[in-house]
Every structure is written in C-alpha cells, then in structure tokens.
Chain A
C-alpha cells in the first residue's frame, strides 16, 4: 500500500472525513508543526491514461482550496508510508511555509491567446521578398545560401517583434490586477501567449471583467480564459530534488501501462 499526496495545506487539523480521494479512499492530513500534507491510501495501481484519476486529483485540490491555502502536489506523487511523508515535510518545511505565506488568499487564472501566426509570417515574408528584391545576377551558391539565411533571420526577428507587441497589449489588460505572472511566448506559431496570472481572491471579478474587455476589443486575436485554479504555476521550491531521501521506495510514481494492470 502506498500513500498518495494531493497537496500541502496551512493547517495541522483533521480535515473533513467525508472527503474522498482516488478510488474513493478517505482523505487524511499528516500534520507537521503548523502545516499538513493531505493524502489518501492507495492500494490499486493507476492507469495514467484514465482521465478520471486526474480529475479526482484536481477535485480534491480545489475542495482544499476552498478552505485552506494549498500547494498542489504534482499528479501521481506517492510515498511508501507516513514516515516518509513526515521526513519529506520536515525537510521542505521552510519552503512550504514561504510559499503558503506568499500564496495566501491568491488564485491563479490562465489566459491563452491565439493569433493567425501562419498568416502573419506569410505577410512578413511577402513584404521582405518585395522590399529586398535582389538583382537578377548570377551569384555563387554560397552567397545565395547566406542571403537566404539572413533573410530568414530578419523574418523571424520581425515575427517575434510583432508577437512581443501583441503580448504587451494583452498583458496590459491584466497587470494591475495581478501580483505575479508567468508568460510563455509562441509555444506554437499560432499560440501567441500562454499566460498564468496570480490574483488576489478579492480581485477575481475585476480580472474576469478585464478579460471581457480584452475579448471585446476586436481584432484577429482569440482568447481563452480558465480558472480560478490553485496556484500550480507559482510554487517556488528552493530545495533541490529529494534524491537524498533515497530510492523510489520513498517517493514513487505509479504510472502503469494498461497491459500490466
């Protein structure tokens, strides 16, 4: 039997015994000093392909979020026993306290921005081809190669500058309501921005309103708002990974292939 961890909370009290975790197992709080790790026993193996386990993990974390400040564990964090959970908590205590204090009364929103990146790149490329119309003289293959490389570099640079300009506009709608943010630019050509914002709970409605204003501002960009989430993207652990705890017997993962279960 293993212990499945859902998150760290700012309470060492017993939690609601009616709350259930994976495989309908009861949740309990393993307390250390003034904080606790919310866990449940896990007897069966988990299939990583099954979305119901991911949804249950998220459901538990969000229920905890309603009552406590919570640092969600990454999905499928397992320990071999209660002693190992306590050892880990003791070792990470200062980090957990710092994060719990910083994230108290805060929630996370996700904003994704989609733009017609392929069309924009095409437009930039066409403009370059016209403006840099090279004389039709024979040139060495080496020179052609260098010219093409330079041309592509200029196109990429302009594309990135255009992206930065649009991101600054989008980000400007939210900056006054957020205390921290994580911006990821151009994960794909069309996914202009994948942003996470940390927002005071009391400013939740202001943030949503700002999103509606952004969406109503017109243009070719499309937007996706999600949240409020537990602050997954804003947990900062200074401690290096816990290899010193030993083998995977202590902190383990149970991704199981279907054919092994």
Chain B
C-alpha cells in the first residue's frame, strides 16, 4: 500500500514541476512571439495571438495563487532557468 505522505509529496512535486513548465513556456512565448529582431511589420504574428499569451499568463498567475493559498504556503515564484 502506498505511503499517503509520500504520495502527497509526489503530487506536490509534480504540481510544482508542471507550474514551472507552464511559467517557463509562457515566459518564452512572451519573448519569442513578441520581442526580438523584427524585419518587417508584415510578418510573424497578429495582435490577437499576443493577446492570447497575456490572457494565458493572467489565468496562470491566478491559478498559481489559488493553488498556493490552498496549500497554505507563500508563492515561491522563482522559475527554473529555461532549458
């Protein structure tokens, strides 16, 4: 039978990892889709796509805060260095 504490810890680690992955992906999108060298104004991305990125980030930060409240711990926040 599984040790329930170990299972909870595993779940917490998994959630932390997923959180960091999502944060890292959103930070990448924030830069690679909106910033960098732009050669022409006609290329690459529409305004709507950028809007979706920020919508995603807003939802993500909101859900992270909710998750942290439920856990009763402060939002540690530091994302891993991107790979």
Closest Cβ of chain A: how far from B62's Cβ, in Å? 8
Cβ-based interface call for B71 (8 A): no
Chain A residues within an 8 Å CB radius of B82: 58, 62, 226-227, 229
Is the pair B25, A241 in contact by a Cβ cutoff of 8 Å?
no
Q: From residue 207 to 261 of chain A, which have CB atoms closer than 8 A to chain B? A: 211, 215, 222-229, 232-233, 235, 237, 241-243, 245, 248, 251-253, 255
Binding site for B on A (CB under 8 A): 7-8, 48, 51, 54-55, 57-59, 61-62, 71-78, 88, 92, 110, 112, 114, 187-188, 190-191, 211, 215, 222-229, 232-233, 235, 237, 241-243, 245, 248, 251-253, 255
Q: Which of A7, A226, A229, A252 has the most CB of B within 10 A?
A: A226
Query: How far does the alpha carbon of A76 sit from the alpha carbon of B46 in the complex, in Å?
Result: 12
Residue picked from B33, B44, B78, most chain A C-beta under 10 Å:
B44
For residue A54, which residues in chain B have a CB less than 8 angstroms away from its CB? 25, 28-29, 32-33
Return chain B residues, CB-CB under 8 Å to A72: 31-32, 35-37
Whether A242 contacts B37 in the complex (CB less than 8 A), given A223-B77, A227-B82, comes out as no
Tell me whether B14 is interfacial, beta carbon within 8 Å: no
Contact pick for A57, options B23, B27, B32, B49, CB 8 Å = B32
In the assembly, what is the distance between CA of A157 and CA of B56, in Å?
28
Contact of B36 among A71, A110, A242, A252 (CB under 8 A): A71
- Contact check, A7 vs B81: say whether CB atoms are below 8 A apart: no
A55-B28, A58-B32, A241-B39 given; 14 more Cβ-contact pairs under 8 Å: A62-B82, A71-B36, A75-B32, A77-B43, A190-B61, A215-B76, A226-B27, A227-B81, A232-B36, A241-B42, A242-B39, A243-B41, A251-B43, A253-B45
Residue B58 at the A interface, CB < 8 A?
Answer: yes
How distant is the Cα of A151 from the Cα of B35 in the complex, in angstroms?
38
Name B's A-contacting residues (CB within 8 A). Answer: 23-25, 27-45, 49, 54, 57-58, 61-62, 65, 74-79, 81-83
Instruction: Please give the distance in Å from A216's CB to the nearest CB on chain B.
Output: 10
User: Are B79 and A73 in contact (CB-based, < 8 A)?
Assistant: no
Name which residue of chain B comes closest to A212, CB basis.
B78
Closest to A51 in B: B25
Closest to B55 in A: A188
Could you say which residues of chain A place their CB within 8 Å of the CB of B39?
A: 73, 77, 88, 92, 241-242, 245, 251
Say which residue of B27, B28, B58 sits within 8 Å of A188 (CB atoms). B58
Question: With a CB–CB cut-off of 8 A, which chain B residues contact A251?
Answer: 39-40, 42-43
B61 & A71 in contact (Cβ 8 Å cutoff): no
Chain A residues whose C-beta falls within 8 Å of the C-beta of B23 in the assembled complex: 224, 226
* A235, B35: Cβ atoms closer than 8 Å: yes
Point out the residues of chain A lying under 8 angstroms from B34, CB to CB: 74
| CB-based nearest A residue for B34 | A74
